[in-house]
Amino acid sequence: MSVVANNNRQPVSRISISLPEPLLSDLDRMVEARGFASRSHAVNDMLHQFLVEHKNTIGDDVMVGVITLLYNNSVPGLQKQLADLQVRYIDEVITSLHVHLMHNQTMEAVLVQGPARKLEMIADQMISRRGVISGKMHLAAALIPQLHPFIDGTQQAKGAN
C-alpha cells in the first residue's frame, strides 16, 4: 500500500482489488457513461455512498443532509404542518428553500444536520404527511461549520473573559 496526495491535499492510500471480469466490464461501462475521471474516482464515490448508508443504519453519527419534498400546496394545512416540523426540530433544521411549481405543486429542500437516526425520523414525519407526493433524504458524512459559538446555552463574546 502506498500513500499519495489527491486534489484535496489529503493523503490517500493506494490499494489493489480483484474483480471478476464481468464486474470489471460493468464498472468500466459505468465509469464511461457517468463521466468519472477514473475507476478510482467511481469506486471512491460508490464506497462513500455505501459507508454513509451503513453509518445511517448503525448509529447516531452526526451527519449533514437534505430532505427533498414534492407536495401539493393546495392541501389545507400542509405548508403549516411542514413549517411547524421545521420549528420543532430547529436544532437540526439549518435552512429550507421552496419553489412553487405548476399545478399547485411545491418542491422544498430542507438542509439538516444531526444524529442520523433523528434526521431519518424528521424526514419520515415530513414525507408521510397527506399531500406530500414524494420525498427523500440524502445524507453525507460531513458537517456544517459551527456558525455561533454557544456554550451551555449562552453565547460567548469574542475576546470576553
> What residue spans define the domains of the chain?
20-58, 62-140
Identify whether the C-beta of residue 21 lies closer than 8 Å to the C-beta of residue 29. Answer: no
CATH node for 62-140: 3.30.70.1150
Give residue 2's pLDDT: 44
Give residue 71's pLDDT: 97
Grid coordinates belonging to 89: 426540530
Give residue 3's pLDDT: 43
Give residue 23's pLDDT: 86
d(CA 161, CA 150): 15
Residues of the chain scoring pLDDT < 70: 1-8, 55-59, 147-161
For 2-37, the pLDDT digits (tens) are: 444 455 677 888 888 888 898 889 889 988 999 989
d(CA 141, CA 53): 9
- What pTM, to 2 d.p., does this model score? 0.65
